[in-house]
């Protein structure tokens, strides 16, 4: 069997709150392939820095911390150093720390290497900021998913409220604007659309319609 031809790697990049993880999860299920949430990996590092009281300016401590850090995905869970941390990494504090620490070269090189290893030799759908431009530059299918800032803030606000996180829509919108700025202006692998990515503006679109648009494109490029 020609396994390489049958392998598909789908990259989905875009700003926070664009709906990448909801859509990627649904597409992964339809195609029966693995879903890797790379944002969760940066969040895991941000979470560990917060719990250990490490500041983004403390390069030496960060390097040392990374040498004793393992991140795994299993059964839809994200596991940091052997502990499931799913909900703990979804707070506004962790979002901020993940965004600032993701600009550090030592953090990026560790996580990008891990992401490439996970994506090697199997079919995956991976979402993040630099998947199509850096992590899997030869992915069979690339998408850049976005939506208006207001709609993204609305979605994030609802998600946080459902989880019982106390915040306001105005605060969430403010945080989204700051993270967009951070993520797209950092020097290393900033949020950007790959030249060969398909642009998907999901403002006003239903989840099913976005999933179908992706599946249609995937079938066109990968008819197996």
By CB under 6 A, name the binding residues for ligand DC: 16, 38-39, 42-43, 98-99, 102, 128-131, 179, 183
Nearer of residues 107 and 211 to ligand DC, judged by Cβ: 107
| Cβ 70 vs Cβ 38: under 8 Å | no
Comparison of 9 and 129: residue with beta carbon closer to ligand DC? 129
Please, which residue, 6 or 191, has the CB nearer to ligand DC? 191
Minimum Å gap between C-beta 220 and ligand DC is 25
Distance spanning both ends of the chain, measured CA to CA: 12
List all residues 6 or more positions away from 148 whose beta carbon is below 8 Å from its beta carbon. 203
Non-local CB neighbours of 38 within 8 Å, separated by 6+ positions: 111, 115, 126, 127, 128, 129, 131, 135
In the complex, the smallest distance separating the C-beta of residue 213 from ligand DC, rounded to whole angstroms, is: 20
Q: Shortest Cβ distance from residue 1 to ligand DC (Å)?
A: 31
Nearer to ligand DC, 105 or 121 (CB): 105
Which are the contacts of 219, defined by CB distance < 8 A and separation ≥ 6? Answer: none
- The tokens for 75 are 């059964």
Strands (E) located in 93-213: 124-128, 141-146, 198-201
123 versus 155: smaller Cβ distance to ligand DC: 155
CB 215 within 8 A of CB 33: no
Tokens of 202: 């999901």
- Name the minimum Å distance from CB 161 to ligand DC: 17
Least distance (Å) between residue 130 CB and ligand DC: 5
With respect to ligand DC, which residue has the nearer C-beta, 16 or 202? 16
Minimal distance in Å, beta carbon 3 to ligand DC? Answer: 26
Measured CA distances, 103 to 79, 98, 167, 204 (Å): 22, 9, 26, 31
């Amino acid at each position: 069997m020609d396994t390489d031809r049958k392998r598909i790697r789908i990259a989905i990049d875009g700003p926070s709150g664009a709906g990448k993880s909801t859509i990627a999860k649904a597409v992964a299920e339809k195609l029966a392939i693995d879903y890797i949430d790379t944002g969760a990996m940066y969040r895991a590092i941000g979470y560990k820095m917060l719990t250990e009281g490490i500041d983004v300016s403390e390069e030496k401590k960060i390097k040392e911390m990374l040498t004793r850090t393992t991140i795994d995905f299993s059964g839809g869970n994200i596991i940091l150093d052997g502990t499931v941390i799913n909900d703990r990494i979804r707070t506004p504090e962790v979002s901020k720390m993940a965004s600032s620490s993701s600009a550090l070269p030592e953090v990026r090189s560790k996580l990008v290497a891990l992401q490439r290893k996970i994506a090697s030799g199997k079919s995956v759908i991976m979402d993040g900021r630099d998947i199509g431009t850096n992590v899997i530059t030869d992915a069979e299918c690339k998408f850049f998913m976005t939506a208006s800032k207001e709609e993204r803030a609305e979605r994030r606000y609802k998600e946080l409220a459902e989880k019982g996180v106390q915040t306001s829509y105005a605060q969430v919108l403010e945080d989204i604007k700051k993270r967009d700025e951070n993520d797209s202006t950092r020097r290393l692998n900033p949020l950007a659309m790959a030249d060969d990515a398909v642009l998907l503006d999901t403002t006003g679109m239903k989840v099913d319609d976005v999933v179908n648009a992706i599946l249609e494109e995937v079938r066109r490029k990968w008819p197996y």
